[in-house]
Amino acid sequence: SGRWARAMAILREFEEKCGTPIGKLRQVADAMTVEMHAGLASEGGSKLKMLISYVDNLPTGDEQGLFYALDLGGTNFRVLRVQLGGKERRVIKQEFTEVSIPPPLMVASSSELFDFIAEELAKFVATEGEDFHLAPGRQRELGFTFSFPVKQLSIASGTLIRWTKGFSIEDAVDQDVVAELTKAMERKGVDMRVAALVNDTIGTLAGGRYINNDVIAAVILGTGTNAAYVERANAIPKWHGLLPKSGEMVINMEWGNFRSAHLPVTEYDHALDVESLNVGEQIFEKIISGMYLGDIVRRVLCRMAEEAAFFGDVVPPKLKVPFILRTPEMSAMHHDTSSDLRVVGSKLKDILGISNTSLKTRKAVVELCNIVAARGARLSAAGIMGILKKLGRDTVKDGDKPQKTVIAMDGGLFEHYTKFSECLESTLKELLGDEVAENIVVEHANDGSGIGAALLAASHSQYP
Ligand code: ADP
Ligand code: MG
């Protein structure tokens, strides 16, 4: 019928605009490399902030003692404690708890948010058992993973540049987040010192390195997206401090804010951006990360409903509700293997109030999910390719013994959206070619970030 043809025309046009042929991905990767250079050259030299982390040493395995970590950066926050036993005994014991952040606190005041966190931390510390040992006379120490753009001032201080991922707390911007947390801990009677302030990418990099010495970069694909990697300190022109002994410095790219004329951005992405809390920012993130993928799908479906009566004469009202279709739901539909696509049918019904969908309609929805996920996954691979190029690890060097390269990956999107992560991995192979790809692995670092932050707290402890 005419309606079906019109709906398919909308879908096809969207598919075309989302296209990521290999040539385009190479342009994106090259643009990423160029922006990395620019961001390292000068402050404000690029959309990529290329933030200096003050982490110039990654874990060695020698770390010992009891350390805490706190991870704030999305919908949940986690508190963790770990007893480290050095080279031989490694992680002796670890425990964690996860708490979801009440949405009102994400847009309240700095002290309300940090009081809530400090209170949860206090409860967790109160449950510390006999298996954990704090050396006598010592204060507990904490690695704070704070996954928003921070201008780092030292290993244990830094000011918030801006919020992302749905957080918006005006009075916290430009404040030292460690000072804010420390004040809240004092108010709540928690005797603990923040020894390291990192973000999830750096935590994941540290946690990944602890397990595998070949880890040189970390990428997070969760609610948001970001990457960090180990740079040569003398390749950072904007760094005017002393060169670290290691000769290395971990860089927090804040790649979610990457943008390039080569990115396939559609009118739906544009609309999503304009209606977001951070208009014009985090464009790469808005195309590839978990917070947004489901909503892109919803927007296209909404257009198909409005202009082609895709779901019948009435536009289902719920289709107009921003973020009603979440990425885990999209993923569930995309992975539906039943012959009648009954998961798709029930999700459309339960989430969007659309019942009695035909198999043909369900198939189109799955196709739409695939278009959106594949674009995100392929662009993520291009971003990784950009990092490998910057490090000169995108080619095989003649005569050298092949060097292994491991990228530690984490985040709910990478972990749970199988079609996304498989597409990312196959695209990276496609970009690298078989020979180079043999020595480059992306590896899921399961919650390396928490342990990583605790390890960095250990290596930056106030006690010798
Ligand atoms: P955060 O990024 O908030 O720190 P996570 O790394 O756990 O936390 O990522 C959570 C995000 O991962 C969710 O917001 C969602 O977008 C995505 N996600 C979680 N589960 C799934 C799933 N089953 N399929 C697809 N995406 C998922
Ligand atoms: Mg996280």
AA identity, residue 23: G
Q: How far is CA 299 from the centre of its chain?
A: 23
Q: At what angle do helices 327-334 and 290-308 cross, to 10 degrees?
A: 70
Separation between Cα atoms, residue 184 and residue 203, nearest integer Å: 23
Strands (E), 278-404: none
315: helix, strand or coil:
coil
Q: In Å, what is the CA distance from 354 to each residue of 242, 290, 298, 320, 349?
A: 62, 23, 13, 13, 4
User: Which ligand 1 atom lies nearest to the CA of residue 420?
Assistant: 25
Give ipTM to 2 decimals. Answer: 0.99
How far, in Å, from the CA of 228 to the mean position of ligand 2?
14
Q: Please, which residues have CB within 8 angstroms of residue 462's CB and are 6 or more apart in sequence?
A: 139, 141, 193, 195
**Predicted model pTM:** 0.94
Q: In Å, what is the CA distance from 384 to each residue of 28, 36, 152, 220, 425?
A: 10, 12, 24, 11, 10
User: Which ligand 1 atom lies nearest to the CA of residue 224?
Assistant: 2
Separation between Cα atoms, residue 464 and residue 60, nearest integer Å: 16
Identified catalytic residue from 56, 200, 394, 410: 200
Identified catalytic residue from 46, 110, 147, 276: 147
- As given in the structure block, the two tokens for residue 440 are 């480059």
Q: Contact 428/383 with Cβ under 8 angstroms?
A: no
Query: Which of 163, 165, 223, 410 is the pocket-test mutation for ligand 1 (most atoms within 8 Å of CB)?
Result: 223
Q: At what angle do helices 200-211 and 448-459 cross, to 10 degrees?
A: 80
Separation between Cα atoms, residue 166 and residue 326, nearest integer Å: 14
AA identity, residue 247: G
Count other Cβ atoms within 10 Å, centred on residue 407. Answer: 24
Query: For every one of its 464 residues, what pLDDT tens digit does the chain have, with 9 covering 90 and above?
Result: 799 999 999 999 999 999 999 999 999 999 999 999 999 999 999 999 999 999 999 999 999 999 999 999 877 899 999 999 999 999 999 999 999 999 999 999 999 999 999 999 999 999 999 999 999 999 999 999 999 999 999 999 999 999 998 899 999 999 999 999 999 999 999 999 999 999 999 999 999 999 999 999 999 999 999 999 999 999 999 999 889 999 999 999 999 999 999 999 999 999 999 999 999 999 999 999 999 999 999 999 999 999 999 999 999 999 999 999 999 999 999 999 999 999 999 999 999 999 999 999 999 999 999 999 999 999 999 999 999 999 999 998 777 788 999 999 999 999 999 999 999 999 999 999 999 999 999 999 987 888 999 999 999 999 97
Task: Identify the CA nearest to 126 among candidates 115, 105, 109, 140.
Answer: 140
